[in-house]
Amino acid sequence: MTDSRSEQERAALSGLAQDTGRYLLGPIFLQMLVILLPVFVYGIIRVASDGFGMRAAVILLGPVVSLIALFVYPQAMYLGRSWLGALCAFSGFLPYLFGLYLVVIEGVGRLISLFSGFSVATLFAAILWLFVGWAFSYKLWYYTEAVKAAEQARKRVIANMKET
């Protein structure tokens, strides 16, 4: 009897995980991919023209690391309280730091550089980086809230299964 119940629990949780990924987290992840794709292309262009400097490396590798971290982040709810679960949960800070870099260094830093010499191109670049960094950070917040809601739904399903 317990084998069939555990089989039912596994089937329900597997279905919930697939639906969460497909209908909730997948579209948000795709939107963040669309936001980060131009950043990655700009990073390739910058590395090709200026070499592999620190700023070029961050612009090139930041989107890749952020997307990998966003893929790993929801796995923390399935791993529970373990060192691997904590590592997956803390991976959510990497995209946050990259979004912060886009806003503060690339956006606000370029705005501050306008005091030394005004340039319309620098102004437009600063506004673009501010917008891209804000859009990515906003979608990241939305993604983490969706993961939190999915975790709460998962806990409710498990509690309801244990009651019956």
Domain span holding position 91: 2-163
Res 1: pLDDT: 42
Q: How far apart are CA 116 and CA 130, in angstroms?
A: 19
Res 2: pLDDT: 47
Q: How far apart are CA 136 and CA 130, in angstroms?
A: 10
Q: How far apart are CA 88 and CA 91, in angstroms?
A: 5
Res 73: pLDDT: 84
Kindly report, residue by residue over 96-149, the tens digit of the pLDDT.
999 999 999 999 999 999 999 999 999 999 999 999 999 999 999 998 888 888
Kindly report, residue by residue over 4-18, the tens digit of the pLDDT.
557 766 666 666 666
Answer yes or no: is pLDDT of 19 > 70: no
The tally of domains found in the chain comes to 1
